Amino acid sequence: MQPTRLRILEILKEQGDLTVAELARQLGMAPVSVRHHLDVLQGEQLICSPRVRRRGTVGRPRQVYTLTEAANAYFPRNHGMLASRLLEELKAILPPAQLQAVFERLADGLAADARPLQQDATPKQRVERAVEFLDDRGYLARYEFVDDHYVIYTLNCPYQGIAEQHRELCAMDKRLLERLLGSAAVVINRMSEGGCRCAYQASGDSVADGQPSAIPLYDLVAA
């Protein structure tokens, strides 16, 4: 990002809502130049449309700018370390069978948020729904039809940097995909094992009673 615009985001993060004049003083810039940068940031949906801040005394109300939720992506977060530590604590406290149940429930709960599918949906419709669901959640999911099978790819891992140490996340994703498909899936490739993408082959065989396969215990206790 352009340095001046990044500095505007930092100032608004530190001090909350500010006027053009207040920003101009802190940046040492002309108000007209600040307005240009604010217009760009507003177009990128990083700051909200100006709102009115009324004075406590007599005087004209002033327009102030503040950050949107999307702007928080430009500031450091520690979600990865926290998630990793939480997983370490869970694995230290829970026996493998209970840990397995936790991640199965997580996968099933995530899949429950997918849009409904007709009972007589074709394999292609099931694959398309799964890919749509994963893609909406940052997996960059794609699929192709190869040798009479659908192959589903995820080009981005939401758990990058964590899954390498906690393979139960990979097992959870596999169960999530099987729940979305309503059939078994075979892992072809995993980013956590050095691949450039994760890949799954949809078997087309319905899982018994519509349930996905259990997360293997070896996936949960692997180092």
Q: Summarize pLDDT for 55-102 with one digit per residue, the tens.
A: 555 556 788 999 998 898 888 777 888 999 999 999 999 999 999 999
Interatomic CA distance for residues 130 and 54, integer angstroms: 49
pLDDT at 23 over 80: yes
Q: Where, residue-wise, is CATH 1.10.10.10 in the chain?
A: 3-74
The residues facing 153 across adjacent strands are 142, 199
> Environment class of residue 93 by beta-carbon count within 10 Å: exposed (0-12), middle (13-18) or buried (19+)?
exposed
Query: Are 169 and 177 within 8 A, CB to CB?
Result: no
pTM of the model: 0.66
Q: Where, residue-wise, is CATH 3.30.1380 in the chain?
A: 79-221
The model's confidence at residue 171, banded by pLDDT at 50, 70 and 90, is very high
Mean pLDDT across 2-28: 93
| More confident of the two residues 53 and 170 | 170
Average pLDDT along the chain: 86
**Residue 78: its pLDDT value, please?**
78
Tokens (6 digits) for 101: 């149940």
pLDDT at 223 over 70: no
pLDDT at 149 over 70: yes
Kindly state the DSSP code that residue 73 receives in the 8-state scheme: G
**Residue 118: its pLDDT value, please?**
85
Centre a 10 Å sphere on the Cβ of residue 161 and count the other Cβ atoms it contains. 12
Interatomic CA distance for residues 57 and 155, integer angstroms: 56
Interatomic CA distance for residues 30 and 32, integer angstroms: 5
Tabulate helix, strand, coil % of the chain (nearest 5).
50, 15, 35
CA atoms within 13 A on the CB side of 25: 4
pLDDT at 177 over 60: yes
Rg over CA atoms, the chain: 24
Query: Are 29 and 15 within 8 A, CB to CB?
Result: no
pLDDT at 208 over 70: no
Pairing of strands 183-189, 149-154: unpaired
CATH code for the structural domain at 79-221: 3.30.1380
**Residue 221: its pLDDT value, please?**
42
Class of 3-74 in CATH: mainly alpha
**Residue 219: its pLDDT value, please?**
47
